[in-house]
Amino acid sequence: MSQQTQHDPHDVFAGPDETVSGPAYLANGADWDQVVESQRDRSDETIVVNVGPAHPSTHGVMRLVMEMDGETVVSLRPSIGFLHTGIEKNAEYRNWTQGSTFVTRANYVAGISNEAAYSLAVDKLLGITDALPRRTSQLRVLMLEVNRIASHLTGVGAGGLELGATSVQEVCLRERERCLDFTEAVTGLRMNNAYIRPGGVQNDLPEDGLDLLDELIRQLRKNLPEIAEFTMDNPIFKGRMQNVAYLDLPAAMMLGCSGPVLRATGYPWDLRKSQPYCGYENYDFEVCTADSCDAYGRFVIRLREMDQSVNILEQVRDALAASKAEPYRIEDPDLRWPGELTVASDGQGNSNEHIRHIMGESMEGLIHHFKIVTQGFHVPAGEVYQAIEAPGGELGCHLVSDGGTRPYRVHLRDPGFNHVQALPLMCEGSMLSDTIMAVASIDPVMGGVDR
């Protein structure tokens, strides 16, 4: 469309004297009539395809507005926001410990990573990072790596399903169930765990925790290679993914990409190695890379990273055996969230012994218990940014404290937000069918993108 010298009423972002090259459409799903109207008088054969809002596999609700010339994508515009639930703003109205319950619901597939980034940031503001018991870091690493495997299994399975390879999805879901069963045994929940909290973790391993971990490692060692056998050398699979959704290193850096999307360009950037946290410097593992810059390379990286995560699980298993019965959270009574709750014999509510101890033996203890749960603890005024290597890439948490018992500002930097922005660069000029694989290869979880 030729440039216009007068204000375009369709461009809500243009000033009265600004030169615009065409209409601007909103990305909130309310602009479809404008899109249709703008195409009505065009003389070319370009058509506009509104893909979504839909739920493609398990990535989340996303809308793609594409201009098509036959089967070729001329332009692509992602529309996001359908899963925005105000997680960050809600966390600003709860105490610091309760914030973990909110952030875990952002990227719900890798929620424990959200909890870790948030809790590590709070630990920094409190100045207790170096004072945390070693078992705290070991348990955090344990659950982070189990959750990483579960997240990658979701991404790999969804990618296979979008190719029509249902067997890949079935195997991935089967192995993911093992990870979720272990997660439930440790945290009490399959998802939205709120397990990693400021100052430590919610609870220690159950009595049979190491035995359950041994069985999980054994099953993963046996079954994860099956996924690679289905896919990596399959000619149909390679034909659909190799040289598809190409994104080289300069483009990835320009767009702020990270995780498998960045490492598929050959750049070995992994925050567990480059900026260690939770004691990751004590574990031996490799940073998986590829040099294909395409969807196939990202897929292969996720398969290899799951093997490396199992290596870490084997090492953290031995570390947990050595630290058995040691504290698993900060011992400071002003920061310690009450957690030694014993359940009654009928499995309903707290036991009489626990109630007697809290309510009948120490009035001071009862008051402290009430205040720490209802009010929370004060965090010194300050500002911090903490980044970790989540399954999708660099996950950051920006926190601001005004010295009160709840955050002044909470913001998550989800890697999927940057990767969705890269879709036009990956897809424009390619075929419509390749767009589906581009979405699968970045594995966006729209709950994390929209927050």
Q: What is the per-residue pLDDT for 6?
A: 42
Helix ranges (H only) for 395-451 are 415-421, 423-427, 432-442, 446-450
User: What pLDDT digit, counting tens, does each position of 151-199 carry?
Assistant: 999 888 888 887 877 888 888 889 899 999 999 888 888 888 888 988 8
Which domains, ranges and CATH numbers included, belong to the chain?
A: 1-43 (no CATH), 87-332+377-450 (1.10.645.10), 336-376 (no CATH)
Please give the span between the terminal C-alpha atoms of the chain, in angstroms, as a whole number. 35
The residue ranking higher by pLDDT, 4 or 449, is 449
Indicate the helix (H) or strand (E) that contains 26: none
pTM of the model: 0.84
pLDDT band at 4 (very low <50, low <70, confident <90, very high): very low
Least confident of 287-291, 323-327, 385-389: 323-327
Q: What is the per-residue pLDDT for 42?
A: 62
Average pLDDT of span 264-276: 91
Indicate the helix (H) or strand (E) that contains 340: none
Q: What is the per-residue pLDDT for 8?
A: 46
> Which residues neighbour 24 within 8 Å (Cβ) at sequence distance 6 or greater?
8, 10, 11, 12, 13, 14
Q: For residues 104 and 112, what is the distance between their CA atoms, to the nearest angstrom?
A: 6
Least confident of 205-219, 303-317, 365-379, 420-434: 365-379
With both helix axes pointing from N to C terminus, report the angle between 134-162 and 166-187 in degrees, rounded to the nearest 10. 160
User: What pLDDT digit, counting tens, does each position of 135-158 carry?
Assistant: 999 999 999 999 999 999 988 888
Q: What is the per-residue pLDDT for 404?
A: 87
